[in-house]
Amino acid sequence: MDGEVPSVDKKQLFERFLDHLINPNDCIDTFGRTYFDDLELIAVENHGFDPASQTFPDPAAQEWFERVRSEFGFRTLDDFIAYARDNHSQLDIANYRPRSSFHGNTIYDIEPSFRTLQSSAESVDAINEFQKRWSMRGVGDIPENDVDADYYELYLSYDRVNPWTFLIGHEIRRKTLLPDDNVICIGNRWLGEILYFRQNLGLRKAVGVDLFSPDSALVVEADMHKLPFEDNSVKLIFTRGLINKSYDVRLWAGEMMRVLADGGFIITETPGPYGYGVNSLTRTDVKSARNLMRLFSGKISRVVYADESQPRRFLYDGTRLVRVFIQIDKSGNRPLPEMEPFPHVAFAFYNGFRNLLLKVRYRLRHRGLWPREKRAS
């Protein structure tokens, strides 16, 4: 049907169904890609479409789809998508591509790797080099984050409430996490993140994964989309402020699922949605906890924690923090479970006492009255 202009009624039917599929508030935005590019993924992730049976779980959506198929002679949703891509210039739809902006590019211009990125047709190597160099610029701004586990744990609460110490400690007490379990912190940036997991949480085999490694005993130098770990070998994956820098968020999610053991945990937090949209540094915008969990659809056995909260301090142009703590059932095909009850009152007491303890211990250490723990290799 390429090049054929449908009647007004048929065209409107097609356009309105396309608008139904593409709700930008419910889509993951990717820099350099349109929603049409990701339409197969959007149909599955956002609408539960089953390509094998060509069905939507929502009867109204299925009825709409069947009408479009009948009117246009499509056999499959792939036919519908191919027609949309071939004829997008003739279609009147509300949202074709994610919001994107060059806001902030003047800041990045001080980094030579950004200029290389702009002239390289967005190659993966150039993207990684820019991300590496830009991240390294920030490391020296907070030197204590590189050497002190307590300082780093306090930093986790700088612009947001930190539930992770409380929640991870609970899983350790339940013995769903053990001291000798393999733990990886992807995009750790500072060595203090690894020290925090090893010293403060007692997960002594924690290692980092980043594009640069100041200490090979603590951090493996690697691309997060190509993790250098065996299948089913990791019990906990922790990522903080990382997803927004992914050049392929589905590849990233697939790598995490590959290395994670059955019954393993994923903790991740990311800014989103971004007020100015995606750009060369902020390449991916995951706008809600539900969107984030859809990347692991059918494989989540527990939602230990999930929230979307405003940061207490400056967070670039991210309007919220999206955070989830989930346990994975790799063999499952489950509906998304509800979040487990969170003990807000108990956490408030714990968090207040914990932060006080960290501050006292940190100050005593700097006065030589509390020993600094040695790095465990």
Indicate the angle between helix axes 8-21 and 39-47, nearest 10 degrees: 60
- Element of type H or E holding 305: strand 300-309
* Domain identity same for 74 and 146: no
Using 50, 70 and 90 to split pLDDT, how confident is the model at 3? very low
Considering the domain boundaries, does residue 235 fall inside one? yes
For the cut 90, the answer to whether the pLDDT of residue 198 exceeds it is: yes
Cα 179 to Cα 62, 96, 259, 318, 374, distances in angstroms: 49, 48, 18, 35, 17
**Range(s) of the domain holding residue 18:** 8-90
Q: Contact, 309 vs 161, CB < 8 A?
A: yes
pLDDT of residue 1: 44
- Residue with more model confidence, 271 or 327: 327
For the cut 60, the answer to whether the pLDDT of residue 257 exceeds it is: yes
Considering the domain boundaries, does residue 374 fall inside one? no
Torsion of CA 30, 33, 37, 40, to 10 degrees: 0
- Residue with more model confidence, 329 or 136: 329
Considering the domain boundaries, does residue 128 fall inside one? no
Alpha helices in the chain (DSSP H): 8-21, 39-47, 59-72, 77-86, 105-108, 112-118, 124-139, 149-156, 164-174, 192-195, 249-259, 289-294, 344-366
Task: Out of 73, 90, 107, pick the residue that ends a domain.
Answer: 90
* Domain identity same for 167 and 295: yes
CATH number at residue 353: 3.40.50.150
Phi (first) and psi of residue 268, to 5 degrees? -150, 145
Report the C-alpha gap between 73 and 96 in whole angstroms: 24
* Domain identity same for 300 and 156: yes
- The pLDDT mean for the chain works out to 90
Number of domains in the chain: 2
* Domain identity same for 214 and 336: yes
Report the C-alpha gap between 74 and 316 in whole angstroms: 45
Report the C-alpha gap between 221 and 211 in whole angstroms: 5
Give the burial class of 274: count Cβ atoms within 10 A of its Cβ; 0-12 exposed, 13-18 middle, 19 or more buried: buried
How large is the average pLDDT for residues 290-296? 95
285: which strand partners?
Answer: 29
Report the C-alpha gap between 215 and 193 in whole angstroms: 13
List the structure tokens of 307: 């929230």
Cα 183 to Cα 72, 208, 237, 368, distances in angstroms: 51, 8, 6, 31
pLDDT tens digit string along 25-34? Answer: 899 999 989 9
* Domain identity same for 229 and 84: no
How large is the average pLDDT for residues 119-141? 83
Q: Contact, 64 vs 71, CB < 8 A?
A: no
Give the burial class of 151: count Cβ atoms within 10 A of its Cβ; 0-12 exposed, 13-18 middle, 19 or more buried: buried
How large is the average pLDDT for residues 320-343? 93
* Domain identity same for 54 and 190: no
Considering the domain boundaries, does residue 236 fall inside one? yes
* Domain identity same for 241 and 166: yes
Strands (E), 241-299: 260-271, 284-285
Considering the domain boundaries, does residue 40 fall inside one? yes
Considering the domain boundaries, does residue 373 fall inside one? no
* Domain identity same for 177 and 36: no
Considering the domain boundaries, does residue 155 fall inside one? yes
This prediction has a pTM of 0.91
Considering the domain boundaries, does residue 56 fall inside one? yes
* Domain identity same for 76 and 165: no
List the structure tokens of 209: 């994964």
Using 50, 70 and 90 to split pLDDT, how confident is the model at 100? confident
* Domain identity same for 150 and 72: no
Q: Contact, 294 vs 324, CB < 8 A?
A: no
* Domain identity same for 212 and 145: yes
* Domain identity same for 204 and 58: no
Report the C-alpha gap between 262 and 270 in whole angstroms: 24
DSSP state letters, 333-361: --PPPPBPP--HHHHHHHHHHHHHHHHHH
pLDDT of residue 376: 53
